Structure 1
């Protein structure tokens, strides 16, 4: 059985690893490495730390040794003939047949999550340009109320305590998808870092806005406040675009995400599944953060063996880390808002080498 995994981000890589023990797997990626969309704040403020843990060449993953990876961009799919069309890095186009297809192409979101074909040098240039832009700014406005915005404000303030960092968000509090206790704890951290908090500010998004660069002020507000200015403006408003322009409209919902059943199967198309941010599982599209890779891998194999499929049960709230690793450790929040802290020493000695690299990713070469 041949399985094509379309997209090798976090969810795609983990799914491909699980399937490779039982099937012939082909993974298609526009990057030659995992370029994670996680931890935007660390990526912007401490790019070397981020690159060590979240930018990993595909050939370093031992679990992908059995997976044939194709560097290219998906251009189409024939669901009846069971074949995807790929434009390769050299400009040629080819077909990849499949018995089962797992759609894990994720979403585009700002300059840090793009579906374009990129080499390692391209990714490195993006990392350095964003860091240089913010390092040279005396004041930064972060616009948005989600985890990416909150993390960015906190990490920028921790890295450059001399800068003026202000977080503007539209609601009464940021992190609306998290338990209120989570925001209470994070607010204490932001106050301690000197981040200015400005609730009730809904930004006017400029015409032609593409979320593809760090901008400049002033920022206008539709909620009536005076414009706000800064040397740099980071837009982290959560305006994501699913990477599904290669798919036929009948498999997509009204917002362009892939429609799935509770089993993560695309309705009406046997052997076709979706997982991660691209899959319309629930309002939070949470399968990327709740080990949907294991479920979809099980169901792909079970369908071909005629065995029962499992259903995905999304959590009611977001959970996990918000700020990422800090000098005093890593704080992880449960769905009920309670926090567990990994002490700083355990991150490099236990969490990353044993739990993440060996346990989750099945071994990462140095």
Structure 2
């Protein structure tokens, strides 16, 4: 069983599968480097890394998995094998009986498929934080959760600094319920964030929105250019990380075509989940625990049993701003907020709900196992069902 991509969804899928079959996971990063909570990542990188940058050897559920640190360069669907360039520059082939594609998307400087070492991941986190911390004024472009979270967390980290949020619609968070934006809007105003609806940025030709800039921002909607010491481009120009896949697996936008059961049509044994999978307009299988359903469907496929359908949600939900000084607010699909006090996030939600119940146990950093940085073979063999 091969899991291609060990981001948020890939790790969870691999953990579920490893209880039943042999699993190999391939990752361009040496650890889980989550795409969640961009605002916390930029404003408080050390706090963010504690919960969202986790070595694979710390996950108890990955003990029976062989992890490969490398980038996928191609797949032979007939021979059932994936080509990989390893971290040391050598090449390898990973065969599979079933393949799960969970390589995610590229979205700005914080979500890229670049093959990185531990030092490169760490320096990237610190460089983005330091760049924004030294800026007297910051313009955040975009109306999604990443942009909103960035503006709020930067404003909360250094009150009095000039933080402006520019978004193209009449409101931000258009994929969330209107009630969610109403509550978040009040929070942004209380933090002193300048809100600028109806602003659509002109993206310079050849610019991929993957770095923090300081040039004036021009608007296709007619407003005067905006100036700031630092500009964060979070405008939602996602690109699926599917360059290594043949065109027959992809839709017109480059996402992996899947049926209602998350399997790829006409390719038995190939599945996709997460942001890379064309499940619905919101690509919600990355956020609605479809990892558990997918793992069940992979096992059903291998055993010749019927597969279950994934039912996407019509709205985004969950946390928008991440943990704040007064706690964590999680929004339901109907837009109602449920607040958890900060002590419960630190003592109950993260250690017991997330790390133990969802991930199946996460070791403390001091108890991390020493593994080879390129390929780590776990001591306990998995039961081989496929």
- TM band (smaller chain): over 0.9
> Which residue is equivalent to 2:331?
333
Determine if the alignment matches structure 1 residue 308 to structure 2 residue 306: yes
Structure 1: runs of 5+ lacking an equivalent: none
Are 1:298 and 2:296 matched, yes or no?
yes
Greater RCO (Cα-Cα under 8 Å, separation 6 or more): 2
CA RMSD in angstroms comes to: 0.6
CA distance in 2, matches of 1:97, 1:217: 47
Partner of 1:14: 12
1:305 deviates by 1.1
Question: What is the aligned counterpart of 1:26 among 21, 24, 27?
Answer: 24
Q: For residues 153-192 of structure 1, give each alpha carbon's deviation from its aligned partner in whole angstroms, at most 9, with x where no partner exists.
A: 0000000112100000000000000000000000010010
Counterpart position of 1:225: 223
Residue pairs, 1:314-325, within 5 angstroms = 314-325=312-323
SS at match of 1:185: helix
Q: Secondary structure at the match of 2:138?
A: strand
Give me the whole-angstrom Cα distance separating, in 2, the residues matched to 1:160 and 1:114: 28
3-state SS in 2 of match to 1:234: strand
Q: TM-score when scaled to structure 1? A: 0.99
Alignment of 1:1-366 (within 5 A): 3-366=1-364
Distance 2:302 2:126 in 1: 46
Task: Give me the TM-score of the superposition, normalised by structure 2.
Answer: 0.94
What's the offset of the Cα at 1:97? Answer: 0.6
SS at match of 1:80: coil
Q: What is the CA–CA distance in structure 2 between the aligned matches of 1:306 and 1:58, rounded to whole Å?
A: 31
Secondary structure at 1:262's aligned position in 2? coil
* Structure 1 residue matching 2:310: 3-state secondary structure: coil
Encode CA deviations 1:126-159: one digit per residue, 9 max, x unaligned.
0111111111110000000000000000000000
Tell me how far apart the structure 2 counterparts of residues 94 and 217 of structure 1 sit (CA, whole Å): 43
- Tell me, in whole angstroms, the C-alpha distance in 2 between the residues paired with 1:125 and 1:39: 18
Partners of 1:23 and 1:146 in 2: CA distance:
38
For 1:95 and 1:79, locate their aligned partners in 2 and report how far apart those are by CA, in whole Å. Answer: 13
Looking at structure 2, the residues matched to 345 and 116 of structure 1 have their Cα atoms a distance apart, in angstroms, of: 36
Instruction: Quote the Cα distance in structure 2 between the aligned partners of 1:12 and 1:146.
Output: 23
| 2:257–2:277 CA contact under 8 A, matched in 1 | yes
What SS is found at the alignment partner of 2:334? coil
- For residues 280 and 217 of structure 2, the distance between their equivalents in structure 1, rounded to whole angstroms, comes to 32
CA apart distance, 1:217:
2.8
Check the 8 A contact 2:160/2:192 in 1, yes or no: no
Structure 1 runs (4+) greater than 4 angstroms displaced: none
- 2:271 is paired with a residue whose SS is strand
Query: How many pairs are equivalent?
Result: 364
Q: Which runs of 5+ in 2 are unaligned?
A: 365-386
Query: 3-state DSSP class of the match of 1:287?
Result: helix
Cα distance in 2 between the residues matched to 1:347 and 1:265 = 36
* Deviation of 1:285 (Å): 0.2
2:374 matched residue in structure 1 = none
Q: Distance in 1 between matches of 2:345 and 2:20?
A: 33
Q: Distance in 1 between matches of 2:25 and 2:139?
A: 38
Counterpart contact for 2:262–2:271, Cα < 8 Å? yes
Find the aligned partners of 2:82 and 2:190 in 1 and give their Cα distance: 51
